A and B are shown apart, each in its own frame.
Chain A
Amino acid sequence: MLTERELQISPIAQDSVIHNTKVLTTLRGLTASLFGVGAGILGLESYPGFIFYLVFSLLTSALVYAFRVRPTISQDISGQASLKRYFRGSMELWTGGLFDGLSGFVLTWTLFYGLVRA
């Protein structure tokens, strides 16, 4: 977390922070429902189901890193850019919105488990 002094030296545009968080949260909610469909089809039970969700959520974050963060960093001329350019901490990218998506995941998981298992 940045200190007050660091915020005075290099301020943060709140507009951009809100936009980035919104992008991540929307994506997580959508993919959480999708992973629920997959877990229901595969017929996963308790622990393997949640592990499935965690693994695929991390995979989604890796995809976001590869497609949205990496290309702009390589375009930066000074070569100093990093993940800090778009998110205040790396934890925000990897674990942001995980628990919000969990309820959507469980919803579609139980739905499709019941549907597919006749």
Chain B
Amino acid sequence: MTWISKSVTGLGLVLLAHACYSAHEHSALHSISTASISSVASHGSSTPAVASLPLDIVIETVVAIFAVCVGLVLGTPDLRPIEWRVWAGKIEREGERGFLTGDGEVEKDYIGNPFKVLEIRPGFVDIRKQRKEFAAWVREGGGTPKK
């Protein structure tokens, strides 16, 4: 959940709570007024069919629902590709960086390269390639900083 999704969701929830309270007050007011009218006119059956919710409450409810929807959708994690070759290519290219949540941390159910156990077996280590990679890394400034 990124901060923008949280803020949009919070704003939508505040609007929704306001609309809910307004609707409750409106129906309470309406039922009091119809009760007084019916006691004056002395009819028996008063079924309070409150279909007369004012337009601004309706609009506020719909806008609030839409805002919370957008906020929730923005807070969902990224979808992962289901074709095996696309998914494996993404792991090879981006590693952990391609599977971050909104806070910048790695997702909990990220497995990574499924063949990693095979690739780091001691009898199959490619020592020359690793020496070259290490030399390149040192050349680019990795390792202990020079004083």
B partners with A: yes
- Which A residues fall within an 8 A CB radius of B? 10-13, 15-17, 19-20, 23, 26-27, 30-31, 34-35, 37-38, 41-43, 56, 59-60, 63-64, 67-69, 72, 84-88, 112, 115-118
Sorting the interface of chain B by its residue count into under 10, 10 to 19, 20 to 34 or 35 or more gives 35 or more
State how many angstroms separate the Cβ of A92 from the closest Cβ of chain B.
10
Taken together as a complex, chains A and B put the C-alpha atoms of A60 and B65 apart, in Å, by 11
- CB contacts under 8 Å to A, within B48-89, are 50-51, 53, 57-58, 61-62, 64-66, 68-70, 72-74, 76-88
List of A residues within 8 angstroms of B66 by Cβ: 59
Closest 7 CB pairs of A and B: A16-B80, A11-B84, A86-B79, A63-B73, A38-B65, A13-B87, A16-B82
Segment from B21-29, B38-46, B122-130, B132-140 that makes contact with A: B21-29
Interface of chain A: mostly helix, strand, loop or mixed: helix
B58 touches A117 (CB 8 A): no
A23 to B19, CA, bound (A): 29
Give CA–CA (A85, B74) in the complex, Å: 20
- Say yes or no: is B109 at the interface (Cβ < 8 Å to chain A): yes
- Chain B interface residues toward A at CB < 8 A: 16, 19-20, 23-24, 27-28, 31, 50-51, 53, 57-58, 61-62, 64-66, 68-70, 72-74, 76-88, 109, 111
Contacting residues, chain A, for B27 (C-beta < 8 A): 116-118
Of the residues B51, B82, B84, B111, contact of A87 by C-beta under 8 Å: B82
A59's nearest neighbour on chain B, judged by CB, is B69
Which residue on B lies nearest to A117, using beta carbons?
B27
